[in-house]
Amino acid sequence: MFASHEEEAAINREAMEILQFSAADFPDTYRKKESLKNRIATERRQEQYAEERDQHVSRQAEAEMWDLLQKKPPIEIPKVYQPGSAQRTTLDVESIFPIGRDWRTQTRYRSEWEGK
């Protein structure tokens, strides 16, 4: 499931950091921890895809610039494969562990004079 041992270790460190330092009180269950790790792994893959896509587009733009100038680049622009489509997901950490970001919708307004 994970790309490498180093990647798995990084995901575990990030998950433990979220569980240890978050203000929310996350349930301490195996299933929730695995859900969190899967979400972190997905986010890391999306970041990697964005980086690859950015490099590809930058190299394309540089090649177009040299063509526009009608010059050869001082060093050959390395060929880079075009990244495929990104893995799509609609999950976020909040959907796994509700931490109260939507507290306003849960709060009922009461005026000062309405009493205690």
Residues 26-60 pLDDT 10s: 677 888 888 888 889 988 998 999 998 998 899 88
Higher pLDDT, 17 or 89: 17
The more confidently predicted of residues 59 and 109 is: 59
User: Is residue 21 pLDDT above 90, yes or no?
Assistant: no
State the pTM of this model: 0.59
Domain parsing of the chain, residue ranges: 5-83+92-114
The DSSP secondary structure of 1-28, one letter per residue, reads --S-HHHHHHHHHHHHHHHHH-SS----
Q: Is the pLDDT of residue 69 over 90?
A: yes
Q: Is the pLDDT of residue 75 over 90?
A: no
Burial letters 48-84, b for 16+ CB under 10 A, else e: eeeebeeeeeeeeeeeeeeeeeeeeeeeeeeeeeebe
